[in-house]
């Protein structure tokens, strides 16, 4: 695909080559899917041109690139990512034209994305000041993190959100409805092994972070105990639910919390 684009000379420099894209599914339209995520944040997290936002798990800039057309100073965007080449691509291609877009690398271990990482997510301190963001988002990140890591991140996110600020995060929510759908094989995943509040595909996986589901009550309690009032929980297509504007661009379950 990269060769075809080079031959046609129609490569957009703000779109990473196919070979560099370590996130998203095959055939995913980088720009269209990023615009979809942007729209979710505008509609469900109150994102505006002047927002100060943090994108945790910023990947290869799928959300950041379309956001350059929305966020203008004094608004700003910070991306945090554990895959160094993602941060390198974004810092090289995005930051020079948009200095209010910054990207930070954290060498955090994740069996799926950064198996050589030296820092534990469960002990990580986000490198940002208290109450410094209006919006924090995580698209398809908690779906690849284990319980202790998610707990630490939600506590840290609560710390860096200003009162009234919003957290928009996607999860794979396990509740009666999604369990019924899974059992009827209406969805794309089937989680069979429960370990505390987390659900994995099966027992004894060498890479449990491949996909992780969480019980709905656990997620609601986690938000509440970290000063986040859940303003909406929207079930997505992964389990066979119909697409809505909150879930269509990512297919997962969206949980929005407002910092008390």
Ligand X SMILES: C[S@@+](CC[C@H](N)C(=O)[O-])C[C@H]1O[C@@H](n2cnc3c(N)ncnc32)[C@H](O)[C@@H]1O
Give the binding site for ligand X (CB under 6 A): 23-24, 56-57, 59, 62, 80-83, 86, 108, 110, 113, 121, 139-141, 144-145
CB of 87 to ligand X, least distance (A): 10
**Residues 158, 111, 15, 245, CA torsion sign:** negative
In angstroms, the CA 230 to CA 221 distance is 10
Question: How far is 75 from 91, CA to CA, in rounded Å?
Answer: 18
Least Cβ distance, residue 153 to ligand X (angstroms)? 7
Helix or strand holding residue 66 (H, E) = helix 64-67
Q: Shortest gap between Cβ of 247 and ligand X (angstroms)?
A: 13
Q: What Å distances lie between residue 152 and 40, 71, 148, 159, CA to CA?
A: 25, 28, 6, 11
**CB of residue 83 to ligand X, shortest distance in Å:** 4
- Describe the crossing of helices 216-225 and 147-160 by its angle, rounded to 10 degrees: 40
> 75 or 251: whose CB is closer to ligand X?
251
How far apart CA 213 and CA 198 sit, in angstroms, is 6
CB 66 within 8 A of CB 35: yes
Q: Give whichever of 110 and 198 is closer to ligand X, judged by the CB atom.
A: 110
Residue 17: HSE in the Cβ half-sphere, 13 Å Cα cutoff? 10
Distance of closest approach, residue 28 Cβ to ligand X, in angstroms: 9
Structure tokens at 191: 């989680």
Q: Which is nearer to ligand X, 83 or 258 (CB)?
A: 83
Kindly tell me which of 157 and 180 has the beta carbon lying closer to ligand X: 157
Choice between 57 and 257, CB closer to ligand X: 57
Q: Compare residues 112 and 229 and give the one whose CB is closer to ligand X.
A: 112
The least distance separating ligand X from the CB of residue 66, rounded to whole angstroms, comes to 11
Name the minimum Å distance from CB 231 to ligand X.
21
Do 113 and 143 touch, CB atoms closer than 8 A? Answer: no
Q: How many CB atoms lie within 10 A of CB 225?
A: 12
- In this structure, what DSSP letter does residue 80 have? E
CB closer to ligand X out of 118 and 163: 118
């Amino acid at each position: 695909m990269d060769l075809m684009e080079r031959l046609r000379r129609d490569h957009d420099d703000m779109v990473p080559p196919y070979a560099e894209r370590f996130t998203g599914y095959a055939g995913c339209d980088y720009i269209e899917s990023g615009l979809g995520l942007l729209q979710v944040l505008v509609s469900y997290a109150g994102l505006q041109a002047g927002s100060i936002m943090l994108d945790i798990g910023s990947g290869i800039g799928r959300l950041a690139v379309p956001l350059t057309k929305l966020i203008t100073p004094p608004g700003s965007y910070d991306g945090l990512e554990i895959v160094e080449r993602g941060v390198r691509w974004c810092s090289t291609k995005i930051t020079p034209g948009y200095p209010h877009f910054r990207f930070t690398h954290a060498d955090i271990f994740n069996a799926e994305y950064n198996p050589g990482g030296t820092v534990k997510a469960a002990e990580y301190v986000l490198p940002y000041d208290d109450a410094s963001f209006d919006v924090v988002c995580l698209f398809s990140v908690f779906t690849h993190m284990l319980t202790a890591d998610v707990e630490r991140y939600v506590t840290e996110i609560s710390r860096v959100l200003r009162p009234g600020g919003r957290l928009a995060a996607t999860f794979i929510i396990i509740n009666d409805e999604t369990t019924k759908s899974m059992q009827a094989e209406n969805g794309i995943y089937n989680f069979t092994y429960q370990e505390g509040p987390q659900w994995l595909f099966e027992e004894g996986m060498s890479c449990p972070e491949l996909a992780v589901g969480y019980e709905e009550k656990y997620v609601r309690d986690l938000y509440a105990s970290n000063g986040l009032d859940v303003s909406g929980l929207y079930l997505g297509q992964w389990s066979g639910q119909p697409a809505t504007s909150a879930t269509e661009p990512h297919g997962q379950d969206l949980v929005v919390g407002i910092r008390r």
